[in-house]
Structures are given as C-alpha cells and as structure tokens.
Structure 1
C-alpha cells in the first residue's frame, strides 16, 4: 500500500456494492470478513468483465497468497460501499492490488487494503506467467 491514504479521485472506476443486513455483526457494523469479500468482489468483477475470466474453465487461475486490511471507519447497513481498485505491482506471475472502500459518497476511505494474486496452472498448481488478457485488462489500473 502507498504511504498516504488514497482518496476517491485516485481510482478511475468504482464498483458499487450494497451492504446487506446479514453483513453486520452484533456490534452494528459490517464484520471485518466482509471487507475482504468486497476486495475479492471488485477485483474479480473486473477480471470477469474486462479480461474475460471464465472462473470455471480457465486453465490458469489467480490464487490469493497475501491480504491485508486497514480499517478507518465503520461500514454498516444500509450503506453503499464504493470499491476502488488499482494495481501497485504487475509482475511476471503475480499482481498486487490496492483496494479502497468508500462509504456512500465520502471521499476518504473507510478501509484500504491489498491482496496478491499469484497465477498458477489450474491442474498442477505450478506458477505461470500472468495471462496476456489479464495483463491487458490491468494496464490502465497501474498506479
């Protein structure tokens, strides 16, 4: 992650995700595990829509090998989370994403985090090069 907190304007696109009643814990805010679900949703939505990822049949898959989340503000129901994604590193076989979650129309993030995909052969799990269609879909998101 970068040293300073990103703002909404630092992300070229945002995915709107509606919170659900069941996302909350007994303390009245969205449980921390849901934040990771939002991270996964914004990245995979992009890969499916822009890179043509076929999660059932693709011979090469991205596995999450590292993740982190820093919480700044509570998210609760009902709110709309706007998830922004950018690529902080596009390596030979891995991609490091930075994700920021914004509540409703706020400019400062409620949470920021990252996760790392390592690309592997689906059957053998041997590390492989990030597929060209994924690279092409991520180039515009490199921070």
Structure 2
C-alpha cells in the first residue's frame, strides 16, 4: 500500500478523475473548504465510478460497499471558486473489501491539495453480513488497481 505521507503524489498517479466544483457553502469561516467536504469529495468520486462502471444502484443493489475507514492528509487549502479534480485508484482489491486512495487537485495543479484513503467492505443489503466483492464491481475497479 502506498504512503499517504508522500508529498509528491501527482495527477499521473490516478487512473480515473471526476471534476467537482466547489460551492460557496463548502467554505467555513476561515475562508477555505471545510475538512468535512473533502470526505464528501472522496465519497463522490468512488461512488460515481461504481454507478457508471459497475451498475451500482444505491436504492436496489443487493451487495453494497460500506465505508469502514477513511483518512485524509491535508496539504493545501481548497477555496471557492475552484474546481476539484478528484483522482481515484485502488491499492488493494481483496475478496470482501476494496481500499481506494483519492487525490484532490485544485483546478489544473499537478500536485495534490489532499490525499485520502477510503475502505469499502461488501455486505448483503438486508442481512448486513459480509459478502465477496461482486464480479461487476471487481471488473469495474480492476482498471484502477495500482502497484502498492
């Protein structure tokens, strides 16, 4: 697994990106995007990918990935109005879980403003018992896997 303490993480380290515009309401009284919004960006880029490429339907899909761990390292402030380029990669594709790493980049910058970790454990929607990562999900994220 890679080290989130690496300040040299760049755009080229992520195989998939989503552009997310900041909003006026994302800022806190200190004039920068509040830390809780960074986690929202993580959730958005991962789930956008799963909806688009794995056919995830948040209302009906039987096997769902629950977030069991998150982490963020803040490197630079993000402010309004900026566009966040959220990059995602998979550093571990396990039998029942997936470990994602996300890089957030301001506008066209090449070095990350923040880097994070996001872990999904797959469970049955009804029983909440652990299940294997569904094949459709595995197929959708295989292109995101990087060597750790």
TM-score normalised by L of structure 1: 0.98
The secondary structure found in structure 1 opposite 2:86 is strand
The secondary structure found in structure 1 opposite 2:92 is strand
The secondary structure found in structure 1 opposite 2:20 is strand
Residue 133 of structure 2 corresponds to residue 130 of structure 1:
yes
Deviation, 1:12, is 2.1
The secondary structure found in structure 1 opposite 2:65 is strand
The secondary structure found in structure 2 opposite 1:67 is strand
Residue 2 of structure 2 corresponds to residue 2 of structure 1:
yes
Cα contact 2:16–2:89 (8 A) shared by 1: no
Separation in structure 1 between the aligned mates of residue 74 and residue 2 of structure 2, nearest angstrom: 15
Aligned-residue Cα RMSD (Å) equals 0.8
Residue 41 of structure 2 corresponds to residue 38 of structure 1:
yes
Which of residues 120, 123, 139 in structure 1 aligns to 2:123?
Answer: 120
TM-score normalised by L of structure 2: 0.94
Residue 15 of structure 2 corresponds to residue 18 of structure 1:
no
Residue 67 of structure 2 corresponds to residue 67 of structure 1:
no
Which of residues 95, 101, 107 in structure 1 aligns to 2:110?
Answer: 107
The secondary structure found in structure 1 opposite 2:29 is coil
Deviation, 1:10, is 1.4
Deviation, 1:63, is 0.3
Query: Following superposition, which runs of at least 4 residues in structure 1 exceed 3 angstroms of deviation?
Result: none
Q: Which runs of 5+ in 1 are unaligned?
A: none
Total equivalences in the alignment: 143
The secondary structure found in structure 1 opposite 2:9 is coil
